[in-house]
Structure 1
Amino acid sequence: MTALSRRSFLTSVAGVGAAALLGRPAFAAPTGPGEFLCTSTFGAAWATVKDGRVVSLRPWEKDPHPSPLLDGVLDSLYSPTRIRYPMVRRAYLEKGPGAAPETRGTDDFVRVPWEKALDLVAAEIKRCQDQYGPWSIYTGTYGWGHFGRIANPQSALKRLMNLVGGSVVSSSNYSKAGIEAIMPHVVGSIDAEGPQTSHRSIIDNTDFIVFWACDPLKTNRISASIPDHGEWTWFEEMKKANKKALFIDPVKTESCKVLGGEWLPVRPQSDTALALALAHTLLTEKLHDVKFLAEYTTGFEPFADYLLGKPDGVAKSADWAAPMTEIPADTIRDLARRLVKGRTMLVSGWSPQRQHHGEQFPWAFVTLAAMVGQIGLPGGGHSQLYHLYNGGTEVADAPSLGGSLQIGKRKEIKPWPKEKGTTIIPCARVVDMLMNPGKEYDHQGKKFVYPDVRMTYWVGGNPFAHHQDRNRMIAAWRKFETFVVQDFQWTASARFADIVLPAAHWCERNDIETFGLHARKAIMGMKKMVEPMAEARDDYDIFVELATRLGVEPEFSEGKTTGDRVREVYDAAFEQAKAKKIEMPDFATFWNGSCVVEFPVKDKAAKRAKYAQFREDPLLNPLPTPSGRIEIYSKTIEKFGYDDCPPHPTWLEPLEWLGQKDKTHPMHLASNHPISRMHSQFNGTRLRESYAIAGREPCWISAQDAAARGIKTGDVVRVFNGRGQCL
């Protein structure tokens, strides 16, 4: 049975009065005190509103382990870094597009009325479309965006631009681009997405679990939907079951400490070498699963020759890897033997593929799992997604929650010739695109041309917190004649903008979201709790205003308000539920009540094993690869002819790492995921007080390295190289 949360409909009637009795949802912000559901990237909580201000939060009672990051939500809502008014860089306001790009980041801003700011943005979109063409505008915003199904400003921006002729957009992401590039060639899909082998399957069947560059208890605190934090329950059960766990990581992770696991420190960027050495030991000691490799993979023979050193005279043995990984050869050999003693689950995070030649590690990792031979078995095989979205959770019997605002197809107002460049670039190529307009680049075996971009519009993202080599990025950014940022907070990117539009915080608008991206245990409404600060506006309303100025408002909005679209998304889920005979209240009851609908968990999901059907019958259930099997050797990649990506997993030495002969810089700075915030978010909140040292970000260093440099806890240190420095 499906049930409303314990804040029952009877209780809600007292709060919303006649609107509930008449079945009409109240979309306005509350005018009196009350408690409202607050949902975010960090979790669900009940918010108390008093005198038009959110004064406190308490975690939703169904969250098994509320994140401490929730403490930063109120500070973000009332942060002094909130963008309060439309602002324009002075040089841009006085001289127009392209004015003094060298002063971006240092120039002052002038407050302007909304009408003026919107007129400037609309006029620049028209100018670029008319004078150059759609290839001159880049809308490849990347980032976690603004939370919720309705207010995704990245989709809204692309929809608007498609209605006026189109724009250059982006593909992939900074998070797992290496995996997304290589895994379709290996297993026919990204692999690091969707439900994984269930936690229950691991509890019941796994003898040994290896977490490789993976810290689930820290990184699962956040989610693209409302995080359900079920991984804590998983870890508690593993601890009770006394599961043997090993953590391969340069630092001792939070998860390793909680689980009491073994810690195997590995030198940064040597993960592929370690994977190959483990594979070499399995091969030479005849511990690999010959039958599995023959039935479920293709191309093992040339890879085996590579491990033995036949092509290059270098065996990829434990002795070869030991000096590179800083792990003793005997330890490597012992680990390889342990992998095949019982049922083993190999778990990888994404940091090893965020490096030079990073796509080699996930390929080597899956190949190692194939040699162990337990892919598709209960509690065995591999996963590249336990560290995010609680990928091993049990799945509820629930309707899916879609989105109301579709991007749509590009309206061909002006033809887009091939010589003008591609319509899509990989998101991490934005700087290369700006520095090389009209030049060719290679991607997935094909040639593409960089478009000559003049304007970018960034919504709900912070590229200056994501992209590598900041100095090069700042130089490239001067190519833009106009840089528009729409956000609720002054980020580093907003500081470099020409036009800044203040967007509403997620607590200041109506929306809807799922509790648990994979679990789907509930649908939660996001009620507007307070009015937007100062002159901030809902993202959707901003785009409606721009669509009006660009002459496409009827097509863009379809006559629908934000409230209409919230109802539309819910009603679509309601119809799914009705077809599946799942009980759900109608929208008015949902919205005027607790704004929570919970769903029961499927029993069958508890025994889920990824790739089980493929293992059961690879002929009837082939993988979507050319061979239908796991491709250890890819003939497709072989045809690409890339020097930096051979047709099988290969050790390619990184350009910069601690193993190189040049010892100019004897240490490696790893900017791993922070414990008490999410990327650049929550910097200006009370959370910072819990970890900052002398007002600075903490720098973790081994006691031995610290002693050699006379460093003690509490010191402020200078970290530097030839590119830059920080304190």
Structure 2
Amino acid sequence: MGSKHRKGMERRTFLKSVLGAGAASLMAPSLLGSRASAQAAPAANAAARYARSLDWAGPLTPSTRLTASHWGAFLAQVEDGKLVGVKPFGGDRAPVPMLQALPGRVYARSRIQYPMVREGFLKKGARSDRSQRGAERFVRVSWDDALDLVAGELERVKASYGNASIFAGSLDWHSVGKLHNAPTLLRRMLGLFGGYTDNTGDFSVQAAMTILPHVTGNIEVYDQQTAWPTIIENTDLIVLFGADLIKNNQIGWTPPDHYAYPALQAVKERGIEVVSVDPRLTDTARFLDADWVALRPNTDVALMLAIAHTLYTEKLYDEAFLKRYTVGFDKFLDYLLGKSDGQPKTPEWAAKITEVPAATIRDLARRMARGRTMLMGGWAIQRQDHGEQAPWMLVTLAAMLGQVGLPGGGFGFSYHYASGGAPAANAPVLSGISAGDNPVKTAIPFAHGVSDLLLNPGKTVDYNGEKVTYPDIKLVYWAGGNPFSHQMDKNRLIQAWQRPEVTIVHDIFWTSSAKFADIVLPVTTTLERNDIDNMSEYTNQYILAMHKAVDPLFEARSDFEIFAELSDRLGFGRKFTEGKDEMGWIRSFYEEARKQAKAMKLSMPDFDTFWETGYVAFPVPESAKQYVRYGDFRKDPDLNPLGTPSGKIEIYSRTIEKFGYDDCPPHPTWLEPAEWLGGAKAKRYPLHLVSPHPKYRLHSQLDNTWIRDWYEVNEREPVWIHPDDARARGIAHGDVVRIFNDRGALLAGAYVTDRVRRGVIAVHEGAWYDPDEPGKPGALCKHGNVNTVTMDKGTSKLAQGNVANTVLVEIEKYEGPVPRVTAFEPPAQAQS
């Protein structure tokens, strides 16, 4: 037997043992336990306890209820009507420790208990002092009064200004479930009311999902990736560009099954080489013993251009692939070689920009060309000024290597999220409630547009070849999100938030968004209502029953119930509900999937049996484990063209050329960011701040539970700082520090570590905003919300994405008494 064939047999045998169903249940401690903190042990021990408990196979008992979350499916353990613990679902391959915090989330002190109205608004309505939002006391009102007030404001604004003056802000993370989808329910109600100004795009991946359809004809960031078993069997080198797979695969838009963790264990045990290009040494890089290329932030494109220059000049590129499967390489080549601008993109040129040695760049290019290489791009590399360029350049690199469509080669943009790369099950599609039609056709680019919209009525902006004119927004309605956590440039948002006449928020907790609202309606957690969902948006291997575990606390109601009652008041209640209650909708989603399953010759039990058992499992065919993205395209590009105008990978886009944007050229280009360590502003603010997703939260979710004890430093969000940078500023591990620039300031707890390169600091996004002067623009955040200093501008005229990672700051030890954190305390309440 030849050595190559023998190696393949060994890998296939290994895959069966490691990636088999349930075989990875012991992976969580080794993968999730690695963290740069003294509190690693609690997380690892928690994961180990969960891994040992995977013995449940249903049906449910009276004391347990199967339900699900963004961290996975689990059994809610209930005693005397109270949630006392959780136990993971047996189909979860590597349960994560954050499940432990879910009971604390239900019983958090920060729960909104009753409908509340800002005191000034209750007295004066739209004539109230809007500068008091975020500072003023609230008054408790009855549900009838609250709903009458909301319905009245909607009718008043519609009659006075028209439906376009109503903004449905929610378009971000919300609770899992096909029915209780707050942003969808909000749009359903407002659509029946006559319409609303909407958002378009995706806050997380706006730049990538806008540019990549021009390049490959697909959004890519949510598409099926080449299957992990194929990578493990065929790949020689994985190059991670800003992708931390271990940390980010803990979560999913739908309940994840954590397939990525046994896959990563297999990568490690097979000895696949890994390179991590990142200003931080990530958990993934540490676990996989990756070579760390610690470049300056926002210089990924310069690095990739120099790799491309080496591939071309050393004849390591695949000329035949470029000719058959791509268009525009000749025009890009003129830029790469400096013919169009006088600057060849050599490794020496890139070394000055990236501070990565030229020899390292050349070596990486040669390694990439030596064997089968998979390029894995994280979403972080497109959250920067000109963020469209990095994904485009990554695809161009993959095309030059000529391995797109080959097993284990090419590129992917979703391996670091929700187990992208997991083989897909043969399963029906589980539908959800529809948002319906919106008679108003105005939609703003979400990531950058919210503050810009509110501050600049009548302004026209470019967006992906179109012009969008902002309407004059008088009413903001937000349900299922937390804009005061995720929107850039907090102080600009506060000023913008003072412009509308009324702001309405549905929330579970007294988040900063709720505290800045005029009318606040308390909603239930997923554990206080019934729902249904898929497990894993990539595999769809299970349909899960999400059982109500406990009765709603205080006066909380589900978003569905709230919007149904509002629809009644507004005269279209029957159209909103279609005559179905909560369980009626859930049953209808299941029965529709059951019809599909029958046509696919798949077996599904009747609804009542499913609801009692708690789940339905679907088979994963062997063919799915060998799925290769763009495999069909490679076999025959004429019969399987891409969705681009040429049907091929477009390294040069004539569509973008026609747009004529000065900040998004028609081929991948290095463009100097608005703020970076090589720019003039670095003399005043010499540290580049990056804001990765947190390890033990989902954005701001869970920050109000005891789990923050695992990561906070001195009761603040940690800031990673290199020992040399800390020493130069007299900062010691554990100090409270002030991070600041022209846009704002925040306090954080110093975590001194060499896991971040010199000149860079890292503060994870999602800490609850906690101003020392509530409601006031420019207030100091006492707790560490990074968006008090981030920049609110679009990536370019093409995508208008967010540039969260384009930030320069300075840091200093905080002198004087350290203020008490009050982020998780309810606001003051006035007597009604």
Q: Indicate whether the TM-score tops 0.5.
A: yes
Is 1:586 aligned to 2:606, yes or no? yes
**Which residue number corresponds to residue 406 of structure 1?**
434
Give the alignment partner of residue 428 of structure 1, picking from 448, 453, 459: 448
> What is the identity, as a one-letter code, of the residue corresponding to 2:353?
M
Question: Which digits, 9 at most, give the CA deviation of each residue in 1:459-506, with x for residues without a partner?
Answer: 010111111111111111111111100011111111110000000110
Matches of 2:85 and 2:734, distance apart in 1: 32
Is 1:709 aligned to 2:729, yes or no? yes
> What is the identity, as a one-letter code, of the residue corresponding to 2:716?
R
Question: Which digits, 9 at most, give the CA deviation of each residue in 1:310-344, with x for residues without a partner?
Answer: 12111111101112111001100111111110000
TM-score between both structures, scaled by the size of structure 1: 0.93
Is 1:504 aligned to 2:533, yes or no? no
3-state SS, counterpart of residue 592 of structure 2: helix
Task: Name segments (4+ residues, structure 1) moved above 4 Å.
Answer: 5-9
**Which residue number corresponds to residue 90 of structure 2?**
61
Cα distance change, pair 141–98 in 1 and its aligned pair in 2 (3 A): farther
Q: After superposition, where does 1:401-480 map in structure 2 within 5 Å?
A: 401-403=430-432, 405-410=433-438, 422-480=442-500
Matches of 1:8 and 1:649, distance apart in 2: 51
Quick check: 1:210–1:245 contact (8 Å CA) kept in 2? yes
Is 1:297 aligned to 2:326, yes or no? yes
**Which residue number corresponds to residue 23 of structure 1?**
none
> What is the identity, as a one-letter code, of the residue corresponding to 1:408?
G
Tell me by how many angstroms 1:627 deviates. 0.8
Aligned residues: 694
Is 1:146 aligned to 2:175, yes or no? yes
Quick check: 1:395–1:520 contact (8 Å CA) kept in 2? yes
Question: Which digits, 9 at most, give the CA deviation of each residue in 1:668-690, with x for residues without a partner?
Answer: 11111111111111112121111
Matches of 2:666 and 2:244, distance apart in 1: 30
Quick check: 2:57–2:90 contact (8 Å CA) kept in 1? no
Matches of 2:255 and 2:233, distance apart in 1: 28
Quick check: 1:88–1:112 contact (8 Å CA) kept in 2? yes
Tell me by how many angstroms 1:446 deviates. 2.0
Give the alignment partner of residue 632 of structure 1, picking from 640, 647, 651: 651
Matches of 2:438 and 2:684, distance apart in 1: 51
**Which residue number corresponds to residue 537 of structure 2?**
517
> What is the identity, as a one-letter code, of the residue corresponding to 2:149?
L
3-state SS, counterpart of residue 680 of structure 2: coil
Tell me by how many angstroms 1:140 deviates. 3.2
> What is the identity, as a one-letter code, of the residue corresponding to 1:449?
T
Tell me by how many angstroms 1:375 deviates. 0.4
**Which residue number corresponds to residue 705 of structure 2?**
685
**Which residue number corresponds to residue 27 of structure 1?**
none
Q: After superposition, where does 1:126-525 map in structure 2 within 5 Å?
A: 126-403=155-432, 405-410=433-438, 422-525=442-545
**Percent identity between the two aligned chains:** 48
Is 1:597 aligned to 2:616, yes or no? yes
TM-score between both structures, scaled by the size of structure 2: 0.82
3-state SS, counterpart of residue 718 of structure 1: strand
Is 1:565 aligned to 2:585, yes or no? yes
**Which residue number corresponds to residue 154 of structure 2?**
125
**Which residue number corresponds to residue 111 of structure 2?**
82
> What is the identity, as a one-letter code, of the residue corresponding to 2:692?
N
Is 1:616 aligned to 2:635, yes or no? yes
Quick check: 1:136–1:455 contact (8 Å CA) kept in 2? yes
Tell me by how many angstroms 1:709 deviates. 2.4
Unaligned runs of 5+ in 1: 16-32
> What is the identity, as a one-letter code, of the residue corresponding to 2:736?
V
Unaligned runs of 5+ in 2: 1-20, 22-53, 748-832
**Which residue number corresponds to residue 653 of structure 1?**
672
> What is the identity, as a one-letter code, of the residue corresponding to 2:303?
L
Matches of 2:362 and 2:286, distance apart in 1: 25
Tell me by how many angstroms 1:427 deviates. 4.4
> What is the identity, as a one-letter code, of the residue corresponding to 1:280?
H
> What is the identity, as a one-letter code, of the residue corresponding to 1:598?
A
Is 1:552 aligned to 2:572, yes or no? yes
Matches of 1:410 and 1:225, distance apart in 2: 25
Cα distance change, pair 427–125 in 1 and its aligned pair in 2 (3 A): farther
**Which residue number corresponds to residue 140 of structure 2?**
111
Quick check: 1:135–1:423 contact (8 Å CA) kept in 2? no
Matches of 1:723 and 1:439, distance apart in 2: 23
Give the alignment partner of residue 694 of structure 2, picking from 670, 674, 677: 674
**Which residue number corresponds to residue 540 of structure 1?**
560
**Which residue number corresponds to residue 799 of structure 2?**
none
Quick check: 1:142–1:427 contact (8 Å CA) kept in 2? no
Quick check: 2:274–2:290 contact (8 Å CA) kept in 1? yes
Quick check: 1:281–1:333 contact (8 Å CA) kept in 2? yes
3-state SS, counterpart of residue 451 of structure 1: coil
> What is the identity, as a one-letter code, of the residue corresponding to 1:641?
G
> What is the identity, as a one-letter code, of the residue corresponding to 2:585?
R
Matches of 1:330 and 1:427, distance apart in 2: 38
Matches of 2:739 and 2:452, distance apart in 1: 27
Question: Which digits, 9 at most, give the CA deviation of each residue in 1:23-52, with x for residues without a partner?
Answer: xxxxxxxxxx61111311111221211111
